[in-house]
Amino acid sequence: MKIASVSEDNKVEKRIAITPEIAKKYISLGFEVTLSEKYGDHLGFKDDEYQKLGVKISNDEKKLLTESDVIVQLGLLPDDKISLINENQTFIGVLNYEINKDKLSAYIKKKINFFSLELLPRITRAQSMDILSSQANLAGYKAVIDSFSNFEKAIPMMMTAAGTVPAAKVLIVGAGVAGLQAIATAKRMGAIVFATDVRSASKEQVESLGGKFLTVEGSENLETEGGYAKEASEDFKKKQEDLLSETLKKIDIVICTALIPGKKAPIIIKENMINQMHPGSVIYDLAAVQGGNTALTKVDKIVDIDGVRIMGETNILNKLPISASSLYAKNVFNFVVNLYDKEKKNININLEDEIIAKTLLK
């Protein structure tokens, strides 16, 4: 079995799907691994490092794509490359099916096996393959670091002979994986941390990390069976808005992480709320690429509203590409292991396996 990966456009995506550590594991499993030239150069993984492990390096991407059994990437390749893939080949990545449905449908008709990893079910057996969790962990951490670096005061409380510097107050909006990591990181750096989430089960998790959970009066549990947040009712949104309006007047830094899978990000922080925040405050919006959790977020720009800075990037993980690649590559490897039949040495698409059935695009 041949497994391959080609270089991403490094201006858009710096992560890679096969690190040297994982290339070695594929080879041990019996795969022949082929990568395009200078595949990991930008991360310090040189071609000769891969070659010493037994990886083949190709300068012919067309041949690489047409002759491989399995192709692993971060996202969907451009049309000129994806069109080279043939019937019965397997393509694994984060394909954003809801956004790319029309484009993917044509290729699915060609009987290409597309697996989109953001569709993994939230079951125990799939945890080692959960790319959303591994990447969100890093995103939550980095959002705190970047917002703190843009905040022009000290974060922890400092008692000096000249007086006391108060600890920064941080609000985390959305206590999923990214939000929980943001809470943990902010607490470790000495901030006073508050958090809010539409899922009532999040309260215990927030408090276990030292955060203070803001409870909306008469709140409802807005959690799907899969563990994701679902859209709130208008009544809940109004109560949440009132609570946030008062809270934000006292907050220094806000980290927004609220997302609903397959939908535009909910606008939680309205313009009038931002206008009530004090100058020097910072908002980092991790939901920026899906529309943002604030009414004024602009992707890849720092918006200044009377001294309140709002940040949000297309891909924050481009700032942690080595760590993000390491975790992503491990997730994908575990997914491939689940697909691979060691005895027959082929890809076994067993639709009775929930992991395979839910990630295979049809």
Active-site residue list? 122, 127, 130, 133, 228
What tokens appear for 211 in the block?
């955060």
Place of tokens 């012919």: 60
Burial of 96 (0-12, 13-18, 19+ CB in 10 A): middle
Distance CA 106, CA 111 (A): 9
CA–CA dist 247, 313 (Å, integer) = 25
Token pair belonging to 277: 């925040």
Are 321 and 15 a contacting pair, CB within 8 Å?
Answer: yes
Concatenated DSSP letters for 223-240? B-TTS-B-PPPHHHHHHH
HSE at residue 287, side-chain half, CA atoms within 13 A, is 28
Residue 328 φ then ψ, to 5°: -60, -45
CA distance 333 to 316: 23
What single DSSP character describes residue 125?
Answer: G
Integer-rounded Cα Rg, in Å, for the chain is 22
Cβ atoms of 265 and 287 closer than 8 Å:
yes
